[in-house]
Structure formats: C-alpha cells, structure tokens
Homo-oligomer: A and B are copies of this chain.
Amino acid sequence: MNEHVHQLRVQYPETDQMGTVHHSNYLKYFETARWEYFRELGLSYADIEAAGYMLPVTRCNMHFLRTTHYDAILRVHTRITGLKGVRIWIENKLYNETNELINKTEIELAFVRKGSWKPCPPPEFVTNILTKLID
C-alpha cells in the first residue's frame, strides 16, 4: 500500500503562546515523515544530495482543520500521489490520538542539480523505486 505512517510527539519549542503548535512546524513534521518514508523504501535524502541532487519544496497547499497541544502524539500519513518530469507530488494528513484530522497538505517538490539549482529529472536510483508506488 502506497502510504507511510510516521508517529511523533509535539515538543515544547514547537508550541507558541496560543498553546498549540506554531503553524510553520507542520512543514517540518511533513519533511521528517517524507524522508522516513523514503528511507523505508531504501532511499535516504542524504544519498540524493550526495549524488548531486536536491529536492526543494516548490508548492504547498495547507489546510489547518483542528488545533493540537504540547505532548500530543500525532500521526503523519504520507502518500506519493504523482511523479512526472522533474516533479513529485505528496499528500500529507496529520491525525491526533483520537483519529481526528488536524491538517491536510499537498506538497510539490522538484529535483534540481546541487549548486546550480537547475531543475532536472531525478536520478535513476530514485525513479526505479518511486515509479513502482505511483501506478
């Protein structure tokens, strides 16, 4: 099944004065979850950079549905929804302990050459693994 689940606990510095997670931190949760998924598939992001590529975020569409709180245990669901040309699309859903949807986000990333930031197709060792997940 093309879906990965990553569990995390909300840390104190991630909270703000509202007593919830500062909204910028969700992008960090999704980033951690994404690379854990890749690692499970046999791809480490460190290897991608070592091979001369980077994979920056080019778009994201975030929907914050519910608040959460310090020390909450959250689950990040990650699904790769597309891979075409230089781009990859990912869908993230964040749930709390009682299975309520906290956040839903679509992320687009693009492969670029390290150094030049020039968009380029992913290296073969990446496409070999990712294409199996999409269809």
Which A residues lie at the B interface, using CB under 8 A? 11-13, 15-20, 22-25, 27-28, 31-32, 35, 44-46, 49, 54, 56-64, 67, 70-71, 117
Give the oligomeric copy count: 4
In the complex, A12→B58 CA distance in Å? 16
From A60, which residue of chain B is reached at the shortest CB distance? B62
In the complex, A23→B60 CA distance in Å? 10
From A117, which residue of chain B is reached at the shortest CB distance? B67
Cβ A12 vs Cβ B23 within 8 A: no
Residues of B near A56 (CB, < 8 A) are 18, 20, 23, 64, 67
Q: Which 3 A-B pairs have the closest CB atoms?
A: A15-B17, A24-B27, A46-B71
Cβ A16 vs Cβ B18 within 8 A: no
Knowing A64-B57, A71-B45, A71-B46 touch, does A17 contact B12 (C-beta < 8 A)?
A: yes
